[in-house]
Amino acid sequence: MGIFDRLLAPFRAPRADDSEDDRSPWGSFWFEPVGIRAAAGMRVTAESALRLSPVYACVRLIAETFATLPFKLYSIGADGGRTPVADHWIIRLLTRRPNAFQNAFEWREMMQGHLALRGNCYNRITADGRGQITDLTPIHPDRIKVQLTNEDGTDYRYVVTRRDGSSEPVPRGEIWHLRGLSSDGIIGISPIALARESIGVGLAAQDYGARFFQNDASPMSGWVEFPGTFKDKTARDVFRESLHKAQGGRNRGKTYVLERGMKWHEVGMKNNDSQFLETRKFQVTDIARIFRIPPHMIADLDRATNNNIEQMSLEFVKYCMTPWAERWEASIEHELLLEGIDDALEAEFDFDELIRGDMAARANFYTAGINAGWLTRNEARKAELLAPIDGLNEPLRALNMIPNDQEPDANAPGQGAEPGELPTPTKASARAIAFDARRAALEKAAIDRILRKEKTAASRGADVFDDKHAAFVSEVLAVERDLADEYCAARRAGAGAGEDALRLLIDGQVMH
């Protein structure tokens, strides 16, 4: 081993070129988890599960997606406001250089992959004299164990297994342990261990398919009918071996000639009888369910449509990635940031890039925010990765939306006109006039709809202003139900004309 390999040996899993059967002191055999054999006959471990393409696709999707999320740090003020922090050692650690041999993307992808596959990920902490962490060196989860140090199980330490087989006890303060769902608060539960039966079925079907096609898609399963008898067991075994040899290896697919009146009988289910393809398709959905991945994101488009695929993508962000991000953020704040010094800091992984719409949707979003005054034009430019421009930092305000107790600015366009002089029209005032016209048209249409319903019910001699009509009025005019009930009671008592009463109802009043 070279110097670099010797340095990394205690912290890495067995390499892909290591022989699984190498039982030398440095061989991978001694470091591989034994795993539990599933009912389908397959031994399922975290490594063997990756042979199943849906498992690999789910783990890779979660790990790569999380590695792309920007990490941000905020300072929380007394009023609850958040101010971005640009210069802090935790930012450099998690976004630039987590350790000496990995960049931030590779390290975070690896850690999230360990979490999704094994339920735990571990890092050796290296800190300087000020308590600031300088390196987070990953340790493969299969090489670390938890050892309780007291009777009640509330304190523990870690034991790291080196590649030479020796063990090193490490205090809790020197290991950053990120855990998934846990039943004891100490060790995360491995999703692969819990779902080994589903994964075992998938592996068994995959191996069966490989053997089936290796045998030229014609399974050699059957029995030979022999009208006579063999001389002894040795003769029968010799015949059986000759049959296997004639149909195996390079002779696969060749014609075999049976003698002495022998007949071949095929037995066993065919693939369509055992629903082989249906089983393999179901395993994709079943494994996607384990990792909370929408099936279309791992290339299962059976139930994907143009109407639901966007919603399912949002559900991936909300129900799959957000809990992982919250888990990281809570652990960073609790385990890595300095207590008493960084208490006002809040860690966050930004999902804005994942939920960005197309150009038209983003343009409408920015326009609405800028016109309403809660977004500045430079903030919109920064969101689109454009440099800010001088003079665009102030929020805009529509002239017709100032507070009631504030006088209009006489110097504003359209304000302070001389008596008898028409104000200069502006784009904002034109939009306000158009908005008022649309609102009036919508109100008139809603009122006419209610009046037609009341007129039709009255012509039939039915109870016009019953509870059902009150619910209808509440829904059409978007008013509270108790106001609609009062309206119906007043109209039943003969108060006011229908249109006038409905216009009062829109304003939150009832005619008596």
Q: What is the pLDDT of residues 35-66, one digit of tens each?
A: 566 655 677 888 888 888 889 999 999 999 99
Can you read off the two tokens belonging to residue 282?
């179901």
Phi-psi region of 224 (alpha: psi -120 to 50; beta: other; left: phi over 0): beta
Query: Residue range 340-350: average pLDDT?
Result: 90
Q: What is the pLDDT of residue 8?
A: 47
Cα–Cα dist 277/412, whole Å: 72
Residue 119 has a CB neighbour count (10 Å cut-off) of 22
- DSSP state at residue 416: S
Q: How confident is the model at residue 462 (pLDDT cuts 50, 70, 90)?
A: confident
Residue pLDDT, tens place only, 213-259: 665 545 556 667 777 777 788 888 888 787 777 666 665 656 667 77
Query: Residue range 194-213: average pLDDT?
Result: 76
Q: Which residue has the tokens 């999707």?
A: 61
Enumerate the domain spans of the chain: 359-401, 429-506
Residue pLDDT, tens place only, 77-102: 888 888 999 899 999 999 999 999 99
Contacts with 266 (C-beta within 8 Å, 6 or more apart), sequence order: 221, 222
Residue 19 above 50 pLDDT? no
Cα–Cα dist 225/264, whole Å: 6
Phi-psi region of 439 (alpha: psi -120 to 50; beta: other; left: phi over 0): alpha
Residue 470 above 70 pLDDT? yes
What three-state secondary structure class fits 61?
A: helix
Q: What global pTM score does this model have?
A: 0.61
Q: What is the pLDDT of residue 213?
A: 62
CA 58 from centre of chain: 10
Q: What is the pLDDT of residue 115?
A: 95
Q: How confident is the model at residue 150 (pLDDT cuts 50, 70, 90)?
A: confident
Report yes or no: 510 and 490 within 8 Å, Cβ to Cβ: yes
Q: Is the dihedral of CA 326, 330, 335, 340 positive or negative?
A: positive
Report yes or no: 283 and 54 within 8 Å, Cβ to Cβ: yes
Share the mean pLDDT of the chain: 78
Residue 168 above 70 pLDDT? yes
Cα–Cα dist 8/482, whole Å: 72
Tell me the percentage of the chain whose pLDDT exceeds 90: 24
Can you read off the two tokens belonging to residue 468?
């059902």
Query: Residue range 454-471: average pLDDT?
Result: 82
Contacts with 162 (C-beta within 8 Å, 6 or more apart), sequence order: 9, 10, 143, 168
Can you read off the two tokens belonging to residue 397?
């305000």
Q: Among residues 127, 130, 107, which one has the least CA distance to residue 178?
A: 107
Residue 12 above 60 pLDDT? no
Cα–Cα dist 412/396, whole Å: 13
Residue pLDDT, tens place only, 99-118: 999 999 999 999 999 999 99
Residue 290 above 50 pLDDT? yes
- Beta bridge mates, 127: 133
Q: Among residues 302, 269, 267, 309, which one has the least CA distance to residue 285?
A: 302
